[in-house]
Amino acid sequence: MSPGPVQPRGRRPGFTLIEVLVAMLVGSALMYLGYQALVVLARGEKMTDRESARAIVQARTMEYLTRDLRSSVAVTDLATGHFRITRYVPIDGRLQTRTVEWQVHDGRRVTRQQEGEPVQEFNFTGLLEPNSPALALKMERTTDTVFTY
């Protein structure tokens, strides 16, 4: 039995080394571009998550502060960023006064302590950009608003 016809060297099926290398180069470039697209998406999602978390903390802080100020009878400025608010609180069907202290610490967190309750902390650490301005809490008496932040 004789072997089949021998094909000339240039007509064998398959790819040359150059063709394989070019295909690998194109494939690698496409994989790199896909990876970079995923990295950009992940960074964008992380920023969105941080902004959402910061908005939630800010809304919660402002909700408590607004409630305290609306029911207040007196606001005492102890120091910059440290306020004592005397407010009315319903207890056993009667309005009684309670003291609430608000304080800004290192511009990254705010604490609230109502008389007889544990300290509540509103932490902005990690939610603010490293070079963004620190938090400031400043009370002002004006004609149309009670406080600014």
Can you give the residue ranges of every domain in the chain? 33-148
What is the reported pTM?
A: 0.54
pLDDT of residue 36: 93
Closest C-alpha to 109, from 127, 122, 126: 122
Kindly list the averaged pLDDT for each block of 10 residues, start to end, along the chain of length 149. Answer: 62 84 95 92 81 81 84 77 83 88 80 88 65 56 47
Query: Which strand ranges, in their side-by-side order, compose the sheet holding 109-114?
Result: 72-79, 82-91, 94-105, 109-114, 120-123
Closest C-alpha to 87, from 110, 109, 117: 117
pLDDT of residue 148: 45
pLDDT of residue 18: 93
